[in-house]
A and B are shown apart, each in its own frame.
Chain A
Amino acid sequence: MHKSALKQMAGVEPLPQKVMDRITLIRYADANHILGQMASAVIPEKDSRLEDIFRNARLRAEHDHRMLQFEMNRLEHALVGTGIEPIILKGGAYVALGRKASKGRRVSDLDILVSEDELEEVEARLKLAGWAADEATDNPYDQAYYRHHMHELPPLRHQKRGTVIDVHHLLLPKTAKSKIDVTTMRQSSVFLEGKRLKVFDNVDLFIHSAVHAFADGAIDTPARSLVELFMLYEELPERDAARLPARANEVGASTPVSIALWAIGRFFDVKNSTVHSKQMMGLKRYLVLRWAITSKTHDGPLAPLAKAFLYVRSHYLRMPLRLLIPHLARKAASWRPNSQKPIELPVP
């Protein structure tokens, strides 16, 4: 992938002139689920083919946003009378707040955060309202695994609408080495206007996005994560951006936030974020990680190596070996070729 690609998709640099380069860029954006974001950030010529393609992408995202708004409404409804005020995380929050990062974004499920002692009641209420354990993880092992070791309940799928809700009580798995101080973050969360639902404040929204991208998982969708972080950062008022390093430190997210700031500087040429990231980490730190992120994003010749490194790192971050080895052994033993159910398509 060309070095300017991310900037072009985020609308910071003009699209390539050569048709085949444009096609490659669109194909990349689509495969990485950011064609919608690109469609919102880049203004095509009127009545052009590009406008048609962008319109397709925007229509799909609009559907997701309608779905999400409705699910938030149903969630609020399900929790009436409990006094529980869940925090809407990630995509849901961006959509509810109308953030730039939400424009054209595809959303597949609703992520919420409640306190650990509210989990039981939330789950019971959601089940009364038609959600049930998702088939894929509805077995004793997965159910127990989520409840003992993870930062969320096993996914709940609505029986009629098919939509999924993930109920978190932490931002990282319980077994993860690094701990994020969710309690402090919850304290500065704010209500969505007219709703009994909350969202993180500006700074914490960015922090959570960084934690999600760089402290959890194998950076599976680097382009999507980076564009999201960039757009969130761009909308952060100067005062909040300055508050970021101290706040990250306070909630235990210095590492992911410093990497996020470095990445925004590295991929989008944002000076301010580079300066802040240098303040947060020495120049020599996380060299291998930074190389791996760059390599995976650009999908260069060493990308497979970078991916392998990030994969191992993700498991190392998530749980200690004494848990990891039995877990992987169990997953391997239950693996069957073609065990994934084919998708039913309404296509001739």
Chain B
Amino acid sequence: MKKLTSLFQLLVRSQLGPLAALMVIVILFALADMSWGSGNFLTWRNLRVISSTASLIAVPAMGMTLIIIAGGIDLSAGTALTLSGTVLATLLKNSSVSVDEAGFANNMLIALAATLLTGCLCGFINGGLISLTHVVPFIVTLGTMTIFLGIGQIIAKESTVYAPPEHQPDWLQNLCYTGSRVEKYEMIAYVPSSAIVAVVLALLVACLLRYTVFGRNIFAMGSSPSTARLCGINVAWTTLVVYALAGFFVAVGGLLYFADVKNGNPSDGTGKELEIIAAVVLGGGSLSGGRGSVLGTLVGALIIVVIRNGCGLLQIPNTYTHIIIGGIIIIAVIVDQLRHGSPEWLFRMLPRNRTSVET
């Protein structure tokens, strides 16, 4: 019994909590799939689909992780993401030349730069408004959320922008490819390029958070802004950079989104921000700031996608999938509180789980 409690403690208290949860979910779905489903859940093809779909959430969620650790929130991430995707779609659609012709590389480069710039600019606007006006991030980004949606709709002329395939280079077309033709994997055979992009970006962010002064400053700021100020951290500037940087990840997310659906529709973005935030929260990020991890966020994104994918294979209706994901988010937050010792009621039930917190 004692051993069980300490194992429980280890799981609950270590950073591996979300990972363990993911494993449990995968095992449950695998078993359910073998008993009642088609047996397709644990196939390579499905794992590729899962990893690629998770990347679509995980990449913008990297930026959200930075923001949430810094004590902020970005509700505009979803619409900024589709705005970036729409910008890309529009520029490719309007490209005067197609892929094989001379001068396309140039057009593509411009389109790519414009996409990334759009995302960064969105983040810059958010960060600037928050730093300058001291209005809470929730409100600022609630406002910019609809502003970005509106701008996207103006660019898209209130419809969906389809970029013809001959205006899309191969690498872009294959970015989210998960099928069985090996020549379509541009980087590593049978590993979706989107997943590689996500992993590389995640590594970069993890290093940024752990090994740079900027990263430590983000944690300090999120944990206590006044302490950060006392320690000589330029809070306004750091906030601005965090949001602008997050905008970059949102733009890359927009790129993946375009590669996935091959078009740009600004209103696709509504609701995406919640998925992104949920990934961070599932991964142990605290909305009150100061806590969050890159690995956690990756796992969080995977949890959401695995549940949706698994439910799909089991032919559970979408409506139930929503309920299950919602439930998991709430459970995750309760477990997270447990890890940090806040709900007294649970600790009363679990003996020997807490060291003295004397004042």
A, B: real partners: no
| Chain B contacts to A: CB under 8 angstroms | none
